[in-house]
Amino acid sequence: MKEKSQTSIDSISLINYSLKNLYQQLFRFSKIYKLNYTFHQENYQYIYKFYYKKVFLFKHISGRTPQNEDYDIIEFNGMKSYNKKEDDLREEYLYKVLSHIHLFNDNLDRWNIRRLDLSLDIQEEMNKILIHKRGKSKKHPIRVHNKSFYRTEEIPKSGRKTMKMTGVLYNKLYKEICFHNNIIDDYKSLSRFEISLLPKLMKNIHFVSDLKRYIDKYDVYLYKSSSECKNDKVLLNSMDRSTKLFKFKNYQSQIIHFNLEGVIQELKNIDRFIDIEYYYN
């Protein structure tokens, strides 16, 4: 029997300041493993593909730090799509790339996680799920929209560069079938709540306990019926901000949590190849 919810890494972006020839190394890597790549000049990124399936992207940025340093970014996206072949392919190349970097470099310091997207997949319809973010940013308050098909949060344009984390709730089953032509026969309904921990936040996180503290700012409530969920959404939106959490916790619903055990193990596996300066306490 499948679990009601599942936590996984959907996207991870790694950044390095010390390697000088990473572009040439990845070019050799693509030749060895027969990957195609395309270069997008507007954002200086290379997209590596296995036939027509995107595997990872690479960026080299010159002199944009206060110390006028160059840095490289390797990013793996869409790692949990429920298309087993594609998911296995991206995971396979994640470790092939890391192994290649580890093999051809003695200096593996100054790696870090630039961005991390964690997904909580729930085998229920979206209209039975309510997302509530505790806390409030004084400069850039986050408004949670549980009615939307795709986004649960609106990010003010003026605040994009200062955002630390965002969350989206969407119909994962619909997205995979309609946008990626994936056939998912094992699920009648599948919703995803995805948290993006952005660079401004990740550069200051080195402990799993800190990671959990930020993720726990989001409460995910699952209801038995869509009508109960709808009623609580109306009540939540009408409450004063200072009393929302106290009253909201008295409603009848099931709380779904992110299970970080698999995420921590994945980070440990990555740490075997490159030092991502992460501590698992």
Q: Give tens-digit pLDDT for 32-59.
A: 998 998 988 777 789 999 888 889 999 9
Number of domain units in the chain: 1
Task: Lowest mean pLDDT of 17-21, 179-183, 224-228, name the range.
Answer: 179-183
As a whole number of angstroms, the distance between CA 27 and CA 238 comes to 55
Q: Reply yes or no on whether the pLDDT at 119 is more than 80.
A: yes
Residue 185 lies inside a defined structural domain of this protein:
yes
The larger pLDDT score, comparing residue 2 to residue 122, is at 122
Residue 47 lies inside a defined structural domain of this protein:
yes
Residue 281 lies inside a defined structural domain of this protein:
no
Residue 228 lies inside a defined structural domain of this protein:
yes
Q: Copy the structure tokens of residue 138.
A: 């004084």
Of 254, 266, 27, give the one whose Cα is nearest residue 130: 254
Confidence of residue 239 (pLDDT cuts 50, 70, 90): low
Q: Reply yes or no on whether the pLDDT at 249 is more than 70.
A: no
The larger pLDDT score, comparing residue 46 to residue 136, is at 46
Q: Give tens-digit pLDDT for 200-227.
A: 899 888 888 888 888 988 888 888 888 8
The larger pLDDT score, comparing residue 180 to residue 78, is at 78
Which residues form the domain of 129?
5-271
The secondary element (H helix, E strand) that includes residue 263 is: helix 261-271
Residue 256 lies inside a defined structural domain of this protein:
yes
pLDDT (0 to 100) of residue 25: 87
Q: Copy the structure tokens of residue 274.
A: 């490159």
Q: Give tens-digit pLDDT for 268-278.
A: 888 888 877 66
pLDDT (0 to 100) of residue 150: 43
Q: Reply yes or no on whether the pLDDT at 143 is more than 70.
A: no
Q: Reply yes or no on whether the pLDDT at 13 is more than 90.
A: yes
Query: What pTM did the predictor assign?
Result: 0.84
Q: What share of the chain in percent tops pLDDT 70?
A: 75
Residue 279 lies inside a defined structural domain of this protein:
no
pLDDT (0 to 100) of residue 274: 81
As a whole number of angstroms, the distance between CA 125 and CA 112 comes to 36
Residue 278 lies inside a defined structural domain of this protein:
no
pLDDT (0 to 100) of residue 48: 92
Q: Copy the structure tokens of residue 261.
A: 């055990």
